[in-house]
Amino acid sequence: MALPFEYLFPAIRGIQAGHEYYVSMCPVRLIPRLFSFDDEEIPAEMRSQRVLNKQRVPEITRYIIDNPKDYVFSAITVSVNANVAFESLAGEDIGQIKIPMDARFVINDGQHRRAAFEQALKENPDLGDETIAVVFFLDLGLRRSQQMFTDLNRYASRPDASLNILYDSRDKKAILSKEVVKRVPIFNKLTDAERSNLPVRSSKLFTLSAIYSATHHLLVNHRDADLEEKINLGARFWDAVSQNILDWHQVLAKEVSAGEIRREYVHSHGVTLSGIGGAGAALISIYPDGDWPELLRGLRKIDWLRSNRDWEGRIMVAGRLSKSTTSINFMTAYVKKALGLPLTAEEEKLERVYVLAGR
């Protein structure tokens, strides 16, 4: 009788919900060969996983290639549709698992990591000798695999955008925005670095994610500048802006609460900051020698009250602030007009649409 051909994985055995599962380490070079994900042409009700989002794969691949010494990934979770034999080698739950070579592996969690490794290996074959943790569950049928996907993602929660920026020491835009916050006194005292949505009673006016986005709009024409130059320019601009929005200083002096300012005015919200940043990009482009701060006094002419009818249809929809790209473009054009700056053809078109709408 011929011996069966089998995969052998070193493994630790565990029990979850009364079922055995196994944790192992797998060389990266074997990940694309062993583990598949369902074909996107299979009807959704017959799959055990969502369709691969191919737009995410290049970004993850680039992350691996650009950070060969410090990339980090969590375990890939896999279902196996075969009888798995566990052999204890060193202690009751430490040993190896034997899986028939005709077994089918289905990724329940980690399909984008798998696809990214497949692409990364083409650029850097040395990655193949590294390992990633794999959790093996016994496949009890399609229904079980579908339920596993649901359960694994049921309580998944993406970290807050501000917290992601706070903890990111690799992204230059994150480093830039954090340093700008430190160097601008009003931001340093009144920015929440952990939350992107401020509670009603928060003592902060701004969020780190909003400043991150606004500074990106500000420095759109300075992508090739070195980091310190961008930090200095960003800090100088936002400090000059703060000198012309006096309500912010009232909060700093505790003359009025941050909650009241956020409730009654629009100037501390993300869409407004990004619009000011966009206008600032044009201002600095027109006055590259640095004699632009005085022109920011035009910000004092703007009625920042939320009740200002100019906001409805531009940055507000049915009385609620909008974070859309169009709203940011509307605010950029509005601020540019207040500063006496020329509008682009696209901005002129936006304003004509606004007027024709009878706003």
Amino acid identity of residue 264, one-letter, is E
Place of tokens 């969590």: 74
Q: Where are the alpha helices (DSSP H) in 20-55?
A: 31-34
Confidence of residue 45 (pLDDT cuts 50, 70, 90): very low
| More confidently predicted of 91 and 43 | 91
* For residue 335, pLDDT beyond 50: yes
Confidence of residue 150 (pLDDT cuts 50, 70, 90): low
For residues 261 and 200, is the Cβ–Cβ distance under 8 A?
A: no
For residues 190 and 206, is the Cβ–Cβ distance under 8 A?
A: yes
Instruction: Please give the share of the chain, as a percent, with pLDDT higher than 90.
Output: 62
* For residue 57, pLDDT beyond 70: yes
* For residue 42, pLDDT beyond 50: no
Supply the mean pLDDT for the chain: 88
Q: What are the pLDDT digits (tens) for 251-295?
A: 999 999 999 999 999 999 999 999 999 999 999 999 988 889 999
**What are the C-alpha distances in Å from 325 to residues 26, 208, 334, 353, 355?**
43, 19, 14, 16, 19
| More confidently predicted of 155 and 221 | 221
**What are the C-alpha distances in Å from 237 to residues 35, 81, 210?**
51, 60, 15
Mean pLDDT computed over 105-123: 89
Q: What are the pLDDT digits (tens) for 161-198?
A: 898 888 888 889 999 999 999 999 999 999 999 999 99
Q: Where are any strands of DSSP class E within 57-180?
A: 76-80, 85-88, 94-100, 105-109, 131-138
Looking at residue 38, its pLDDT comes to: 52
Looking at residue 17, its pLDDT comes to: 85
Amino acid identity of residue 81, one-letter, is N
With residues binned 3-state (H G I as helix, E B as strand, rest as coil), the percentages for the chain, rounded to 5, are 50, 15, 35
Mean pLDDT computed over 303-325: 92
